[in-house]
């Protein structure tokens, strides 16, 4: 095999701090190469250098044996290197077809023709997405599909996927990996970054592991197993500790009923949904994409409104509530930690301190109506320490943080509001194993302190490990409740699917 990309001693430093330190990396022609590492390990930075998103501070990159230096993603794309980003970079106001063909518009465009071509193209990839649908109306999984379709459409010979499967259902993942194999068969080289170790072990030809910006291990996938990968990633065996099975003795007893949801409805997404949430317990919520779980909790936290007529009842501490805006829910001490941290969770261009402080302001808990830098700094130091946010300093912008640290800031923004009910929507999506352990510990601590905690997750081991009770959503309503002691992944999945 010949190396299509060969990186030699590549370093990238931000404000003097190296995100990638003298890394050697090769991508062979027609291989699937998994790139693993904790958040902040430098995986995204390394691939962004290849894709022309950022420029290396030092080192050399060879593309097909020739020195290459891409200053923009477009230059890389013209050279046949495409990157599918973790946070999708689609234009929300345009349709799926328009996004796929973005940049290839002719002087006169026949929209119908574009839609037909897009339909055929999406079908060839086994993606069930309406080409005429505006991207803004799509869920995270379908946006990811469009992003992938766009990269494939550009006929790139190197495609870099950053966390491609984080938002996909098991069925969609199967399609995705079949697509990856088809691309490989046609000679495309693929790098994919993932936190799901089984995906790397099961689908990659080679694996490279980074830790703290340095190359730790690289080799054939067959030479690795799960324990070896985790050991290399974090320097300690963690996964068994994170995803251990609960037993009855470890389950928390329910406290007082905090929230009673009765027959809430919102269009076709949430239908006559009823359940309760209790103090001092973690209620795990599992459901497939489209089961209405996120929408239900967005109604509770005032992001969405339930049906005007016969929309059901929500009682907080026995008091009926109906929120028109999230601020009202925040004032009632309900914190919703969003699954989409980029567009809903953070002010990317504000500092960590300003992000924390914005949470405080939303709850009206700041000491004075004039912004106090001292208060902001002390708040930031307190929460950065508690949440173990790793950043150069509190003035670092949120956009400069790794996914895991961004997630911690989003969580911190909610917790500064001193909530009594905290709703975590996919709290560890796109977060590495090390940060997952820290976030899980934090969630457990909150429940131990007596707070009512809800964890919505698509990852069954996470639900089974964290929850004191498990609610399964299907078609907009709770269809089953399990105790984690006698629940199995099969039982939960059966309830969610059938």
- Residues in contact with another protein by the rule CB under 8 A: 254, 257, 260-263, 272, 274-276, 278, 308-313, 322, 469, 478-481, 483, 498
Residue 52 vs 312, nearer CB to another protein: 312
Question: Which value, to the nearest 10 degrees, does the dihedral of the CA atoms of residues 250, 281, 295, 358 take?
Answer: -120
Q: Please, what is the minimum distance in Å from the beta carbon of residue 320 to another protein?
A: 8
CB 386 within 8 A of CB 396: no
Q: Please, what is the minimum distance in Å from the beta carbon of residue 263 to another protein?
A: 4
Count CB neighbours of 272 within 10 A.
13
Rounded CA-CA distance 102/95 in Å is 10
Q: Where are the alpha helices (DSSP H) in 363-402?
A: 373-387
Residue 100 vs 472, nearer CB to another protein: 472
Closest CA to 37 of 211, 228, 238, 236: 211
Closest CA to 144 of 109, 169, 111, 110: 169
Rounded CA-CA distance 336/411 in Å is 9
Count CB neighbours of 107 within 10 A.
4
Q: Please, what is the minimum distance in Å from the beta carbon of residue 426 to another protein?
A: 23
Residue 127 vs 275, nearer CB to another protein: 275
Query: Tokens 């790098």 sit at which residue?
Result: 191
Q: Please, what is the minimum distance in Å from the beta carbon of residue 486 to another protein?
A: 10
Residue 14 vs 494, nearer CB to another protein: 494
Residue 309 vs 373, nearer CB to another protein: 309
Q: Which helix (H) or strand (E) holds 445?
A: helix 433-448
Rounded CA-CA distance 108/79 in Å is 27
Q: Please, what is the minimum distance in Å from the beta carbon of residue 496 to another protein?
A: 12
Residue 226 vs 257, nearer CB to another protein: 257
Q: Please, what is the minimum distance in Å from the beta carbon of residue 498 to another protein?
A: 5
Give the residues across from 35 on adjacent strands. 193, 208
Rounded CA-CA distance 132/130 in Å is 5
Q: Where are the alpha helices (DSSP H) in 51-185?
A: 73-78, 96-100, 111-124, 140-153, 170-185
Q: Please, what is the minimum distance in Å from the beta carbon of residue 474 to another protein?
A: 9
Residue 285 vs 346, nearer CB to another protein: 285
């Amino acid at each position: 095999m010949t190396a299509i990309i060969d990186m030699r001693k590549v370093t990238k430093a931000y404000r003097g701090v190296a995100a990638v330190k003298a890394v050697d990396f090769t991508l062979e022609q027609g291989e699937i190469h998994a790139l693993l590492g904790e958040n902040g390990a430098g995986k995204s930075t390394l691939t962004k250098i290849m894709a022309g998103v950022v420029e290396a501070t030092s080192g050399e990159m060879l593309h097909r044996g020739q020195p290459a230096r891409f200053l923009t993603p477009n230059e890389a794309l013209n050279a046949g290197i495409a990157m599918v980003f973790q946070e999708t970079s689609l234009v929300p106001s345009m349709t799926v077809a328009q996004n796929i063909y973005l940049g290839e518009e002719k002087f006169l465009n026949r929209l119908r023709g574009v839609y037909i071509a897009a339909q055929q193209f999406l079908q060839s990839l086994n993606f069930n997405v309406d080409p005429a649908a505006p991207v803004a109306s799509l869920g995270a999984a379908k946006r990811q599909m469009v992003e992938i379709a766009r990269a494939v459409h550009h006929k790139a010979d190197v495609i870099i996927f950053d966390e491609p499967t984080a938002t996909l259902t098991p069925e969609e993942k199967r399609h995705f990996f079949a697509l990856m194999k088809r691309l490989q068969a046609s000679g495309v080289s693929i790098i994919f970054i993932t936190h799901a170790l089984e995906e790397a072990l099961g689908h990659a030809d080679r694996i490279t592991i980074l830790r703290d910006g340095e190359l730790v291990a690289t080799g054939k996938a067959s030479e690795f197993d799960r324990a070896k990968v985790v050991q290399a990633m974090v320097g300690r065996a963690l996964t068994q500790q994170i995803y251990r099975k609960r037993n009855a003795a470890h389950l928390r007893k329910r406290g007082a009923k905090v929230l009673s949801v009765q027959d809430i409805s919102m269009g076709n997404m949430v239908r006559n949904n009823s359940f309760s949430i209790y103090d001092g317990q973690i209620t795990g919520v599992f459901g497939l994409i489209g089961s209405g779980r996120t929408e239900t909790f967005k109604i509770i936290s005032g992001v969405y409104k339930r049906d005007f007529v016969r929309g059901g009842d929500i009682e907080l501490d026995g008091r009926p509530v109906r929120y028109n805006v999230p601020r009202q829910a925040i004032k009632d001490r309900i914190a919703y930690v969003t699954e989409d941290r980029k567009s809903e969770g953070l002010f990317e261009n504000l500092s960590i301190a300003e992000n924390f402080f914005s949470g405080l302001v939303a709850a009206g808990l700041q000491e004075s109506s004039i912004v106090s830098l001292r208060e902001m700094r002390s708040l930031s130091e307190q929460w950065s320490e508690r949440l173990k946010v790793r950043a150069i300093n509190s003035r670092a912008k949120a956009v400069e943080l790794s996914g895991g640290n961004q997630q911690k800031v989003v969580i911190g923004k909610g917790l500064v509001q001193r909530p009594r009910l905290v709703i975590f929507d996919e709290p560890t999506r796109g977060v590495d194993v090390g940060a997952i352990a820290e976030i899980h510990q934090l969630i457990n601590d909150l429940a131990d302190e007596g707070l009512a905690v809800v964890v919505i997750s698509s990852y069954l081991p996470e639900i089974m490990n964290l929850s004191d009770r498990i609610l399964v959503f299907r078609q907009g309503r709770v269809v089953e409740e399990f105790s984690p002691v006698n629940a199995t992944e099969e039982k939960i999945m059966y309830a969610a699917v059938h």
